Amino acid sequence: MLKLITNCFVFVIAEPYLVLINFCIFKQQLSGNVLLSGVGYNMKKRKFMKKIYFDDISNLKRRNWEKDIILLLGLALIILGTFTDFLSEDWNKWIKASGYLLFSIYFLRKVFQKNYVQWDKIGMTVRINNYFREIRINFNEINYYEFINDKLKIFQSNKTIELDLNDVLKSDRERLIQIIMDNTVANNS
């Protein structure tokens, strides 16, 4: 049975800022999950599902123009602050400092996100539900993996890694499993 709720305003505390969402909900009573404009909400637990931020560092063909603009702008500000004489020294210091700040934000972006996956062809770094604990997984050491009851178990030759994906969006879970499946040596042979 579906219920339609229209013209609702909800304040959502999303990482890392407060968002106002105007939405229409189609609530399915059997599963208890709702999709709010791309943000998942678990009705049974009264919690918002968390998004995983993915970063493929091995794919040079598909460039992210936003990252390129941030790096080029930071580099331009550093060069402008260092080699120009038409502004005062105070302005040059502030311009150069803002360029270094842009570089710092770019390279520390994975530190600020709680759920983060960064991978290349050799392995991946996974941080789920934790700001400080990262798990490094080499794809050539994975024997097999299984996804049961919202837990992803990765069996390596010397250890077993268990990731709790209970509060993560379903699409992000599927993408994480697809990344592991595509890059595992056992599946590629």
Q: What is the pLDDT of residues 49-99, one digit of tens each?
A: 889 989 888 766 666 777 788 889 999 999 999 888 777 888 889 999 999
Question: Is residue 145 scored above 50 in pLDDT?
Answer: yes
pLDDT of residue 178: 93
Q: What percent of the chain has pLDDT over 70?
A: 70
Question: Is residue 14 scored above 50 in pLDDT?
Answer: no
Same domain, 12 and 55: no
Task: Give pTM, 2 decimals.
Answer: 0.64
CA distance 174 to 83: 49
Q: How far are the Cα atoms of 22, 23, 24, 29, 46 from residue 5, in angstroms, in the given order?
A: 11, 9, 6, 13, 17
User: Residue 23, class by beta-carbon neighbours within 10 Å (0-12 exposed, 13-18 middle, 19+ buried)?
Assistant: middle
CA distance 187 to 89: 59
161 vs 84, which has greater pLDDT?
Answer: 161
Same domain, 157 and 175: yes
CA distance 12 to 14: 6
Same domain, 123 and 41: no
**Confidence band (pLDDT; 50, 70, 90) for 100?**
very high
Same domain, 25 and 90: no
Same domain, 16 and 90: no
Same domain, 38 and 81: no
Instruction: Calculate mean pLDDT across residues 121-126.
Output: 91
pLDDT of residue 66: 76
- Enclosing domain of residue 152: 50-189
